[in-house]
Chain A
Amino acid sequence: MDFDLDADQLAWLAEVREFLRENVTDALRAEIAEYNLEHPGGEVAAFRRKLGAKGWFGLNWPAEYGGLGLGAVHLHLLMSEFEYWGAPGPDLTVTSIAPMIMRHGTEQNKREFLPLIARGEMTCALGYSEPDAGTDLASLRTRAVRDGDEWVINGSKIWNSGAQRSTHEWLCVRTDPDAQRHRGISVIVVPVDSPGVRIRPLIAWSGYRTNEVFFDDVRVPVTNLIGEENRGWAYITGALDLERGALTNAGDLRRALDELQVLARMPRRDGSVPIDNPAFRRRLAQAEADVEVAGLMGYEASSMLADGVIPTVEVSVEKVFSSELRQGIADLGIDLLGAEGLLAHRNPEAPAGGRFEKLYRFAPLMRFGGGTNEVLRDVIAQRGHGMPSYGR
């Protein structure tokens, strides 16, 4: 085991930091604070174009698919750094969908979609969950029926984050209604601007926008089916493992805790200083110990990915650990700041812009999203230790 970054990795980190220093401008921060990523044609869009120009949307892909051929550790370093800065980095299209197309897609899938993704011109919303198929994803009911050279799609998807700014849906559909549960599922790529697609916004507690998306006789070419018909379950479970790995780097946790360490030493409005309280010191020390380990878990999982292993158990551990830690840090943040911790996000009087008030409302998403922690604990016990399934 080697816990030091090598010369190549250090140089990469320096390059990423240099890019962020130049391109994370006040204007970009202001736009993200006001609109999150929802301002078409603005600073975020321009920032994404610069990322595409660097080739960073395909940085971990082989050169034959238009990528830079860099390793999973490089991707992890970049993602962690972007998270620390709060900058929008490569999204799930790049980190989990594209690798699945490389592994399982047809030659036409690869030629058609990968260059677009690498340039940042194709982004996908994940069309997995349905109102009656959440954690129990294999009971999904959205249908695709073949009609000549086209698939005809009917049904609806929920928690379809980013649909309003994505170019495509990465859609999980039932193609064989007679097959048992997960055996009749396929993945089809659907342009969001296809006739018959309707998007209904759903606004979460954190202010985060997600969507319910309806598909009414939507037609796409048969070549939009990824890989083989009725094999989609294997593809999406693989993509979910990659998604968890990408979702759970500890960069944002490191940033939150760094800011909290500074805030803890500054007087509150009543003159008291949180760090003078030994109980807060103990909790901050625990947060330090936990954030450090969350980072190590990310390095471990990306080291395995770099060796070509999908670290199913390791990313489950990492996801459970970091998502519960995120809730803990949000809670500690408000506790440390006391009444001032309640000053709302973007209130000019709020310490650190109200980041902990916002984080407290945001953090629940990471605990149940991307596979609930309860199911992931099952995965750890069953896949990691061979404990018997209880009949799910």
Chain B
Amino acid sequence: MKLIATQDDRDLAAMLRGLLGARGAEPWDALATAGIFGLGIPEEYGGSGGTLSELGVFAREAGRALCPLATYSTVLAAHAVLMLGGEESRHRWLPDLAAGRTSATAALWNANDAADVTPALRADREPDGGWRLTGTADFVNDAETAGLVVVSGMDASGRTLGFVCNLRGPGVTVRPLTLMGGHRASCVRFDDVTVDDVLNDGKPLDRNQLRRTANAAVALISLDLVGVGEAVLDRTVAYTTLRHQFGRPIASFQAAQHIVADMHISLSAARLAAQSAVFRIGRGDTAVRETAIARMHSATAAKWATLDAHQLHGGMGYVVESDLYLWSERARVLSTLGGGADVAATWLDDDEVSRAAIGERLRRKDGL
């Protein structure tokens, strides 16, 4: 147990801050060159190795710098392939995804509740052994631009199977949705679409592995939200220190300092919770409890950090000449998709690990 960033993590964060800090430029190629798409993917599949925690370092910096979300769509699709398997699929898809040569997205959980991993599509078996998908997957991130989708389907006997499918192929209709902040998500219709690959060597997917895949996305996005909040906290401190009223910097007013302190406290809570969740998932756990807690804290902390930042900037942060609203929109969008704090709170209800732990602790300590 040592909750201090390692020197490697600090170096990675500094490198990414420089790389992503060059605003205006599309960072995809630079991220690909730096091997970021392959973080947490074993080298045997063309990845950069390392753990999910290192990808977490990227997520936090990505939020801070407003790195385009399409990056995540590809990264999360790659991790879905990695976590759901099997070997053939990993070898077939991961080298291109991990190098940033192929873009992808995932449609494996409900946009209103990431714990709901029931397939949205029907999977029909073809006589030759292949599969066809029919149905609608809603709020699929970056489907307009991604080449591939990792998606689940339910077969005639109610089993859940995982597929990789070309989004540009025949029978796929991508209807872009207009969301807050220009966030790119689409309603994707599949009409008898032939899949490119079946995950897990054609075997049904284990619900825990699907939850773990969804949880990895939720936990990483939680760290993105922490980065969003930390960025607006820093610029709020800078602005209030420069802005003078009544002959003194408004940062010298206790009311302003206490808002900043509360932003700091809630972001510290969110950071620790999200880092813990990413660590546990990276170790192979489903980590329902840690993911729920990360989500509850980060969704709330980041959203309120941006709203408090608006309050302390006043009109100067409200006009679009100031780009503060870009962070506010990212916080609102990312704390909504997959379910916010109230949805995540229900994930704790069905977490048997927590329930068992309470009983074990109380038995050990001659409780009630």
A→B interface (CB under 8 Å): 1-6, 9, 17, 21, 73, 84-85, 254-255, 258-259, 261-263, 281-282, 285-286, 288-290, 292-293, 296-297, 299-300, 303-304, 306-307, 314, 317, 320-321, 352, 374, 376-378, 380-382, 384-391
A1 touches B237 (CB 8 A): no
Highest count of chain A CB atoms <10 Å: which of B1, B4, B280, B290: B1
Q: A3-B275, A285-B292, A381-B260 are in contact. List 6 more A-B contacts (CB 8 A).
A: A262-B367, A262-B368, A281-B346, A281-B349, A293-B293, A387-B260
B240 contacts chain A at the CB level, 8 A cutoff = yes
CA distance A377 to B253 in the complex (A): 12
Q: How large is the interface on B (under 10, 10 to 19, 20 to 34, 35 or more residues)?
A: 35 or more
What residues of chain B lie closer than 8 Å to A286, measured between beta carbons?
A: 296, 345
| Known contacts A2-B1, A258-B362, A285 near B261 by CB under 8 Å | no
B255–chain A nearest beta-carbon distance, Å: 10
Among the listed B3, B251, B265, B342, which residue makes an inter-chain contact with A387, where contact means beta carbons less than 8 Å apart?
B251
Closest to A377 in B: B261
Highest count of chain B CB atoms <10 Å: which of A4, A289, A290, A390: A289
| Known contacts A296-B3, A380-B264, A387-B257, A289 near B367 by CB under 8 Å | no
What residues of chain B lie closer than 8 Å to A281, measured between beta carbons?
A: 345-346, 349
Closest to A391 in B: B252
Report 13 cross-chain contacts, Cβ distance below 8 Å, ordered by A residue: A1-B2, A2-B3, A2-B279, A3-B280, A285-B348, A289-B292, A293-B269, A293-B297, A296-B3, A300-B3, A387-B240, A387-B257, A390-B254
Prevailing SS type, chain A contact patch: helix
A5 touches B367 (CB 8 A): no
CA distance A363 to B118 in the complex (A): 44
A387 touches B241 (CB 8 A): yes
A26–chain B nearest beta-carbon distance, Å: 9
Among the listed A85, A259, A289, A388, which residue makes an inter-chain contact with B293, where contact means beta carbons less than 8 Å apart?
A289
> Per-residue CB proximity of B219-245 to A under 8 Å, as 1/0?
000000000000001000100110000
B273–chain A nearest beta-carbon distance, Å: 5
B258 contacts chain A at the CB level, 8 A cutoff = yes
What residues of chain A lie closer than 8 Å to B116, measured between beta carbons?
A: none
CA distance A391 to B349 in the complex (A): 49
A385 touches B237 (CB 8 A): yes
Nearest 5 CB-CB pairings of A with B:
A381-B257, A377-B261, A285-B345, A296-B272, A380-B261
B258 touches A262 (CB 8 A): no
- Cβ < 8 Å to A, chain B residues 340-362: 342, 345-346, 348-349, 354, 358, 361-362
CA distance A5 to B53 in the complex (A): 17
CA distance A21 to B365 in the complex (A): 8
B273 touches A288 (CB 8 A): no
Closest to B249 in A: A388
| Known contacts A262-B367, A289-B293, A387-B251, A299 near B1 by CB under 8 Å | yes
Closest to B53 in A: A1
| Known contacts A258-B358, A289-B293, A1 near B279 by CB under 8 Å | yes
CA distance A289 to B293 in the complex (A): 5
CA distance A391 to B253 in the complex (A): 10
B262–chain A nearest beta-carbon distance, Å: 7
A389 touches B252 (CB 8 A): yes
| Known contacts A1-B275, A9-B1, A390 near B252 by CB under 8 Å | yes
What residues of chain B lie closer than 8 Å to A293, measured between beta carbons?
A: 269, 272-273, 293, 297
B272 touches A259 (CB 8 A): no
| Known contacts A3-B280, A73-B1, A288 near B354 by CB under 8 Å | yes
What residues of chain B lie closer than 8 Å to A300, measured between beta carbons?
A: 3-4, 272
B296 touches A285 (CB 8 A): yes
> Per-residue CB proximity of B115-143 to A under 8 Å, as 1/0?
00000000000000000000000000000
| Known contacts A1-B275, A3-B1, A6-B1, A388 near B368 by CB under 8 Å | no
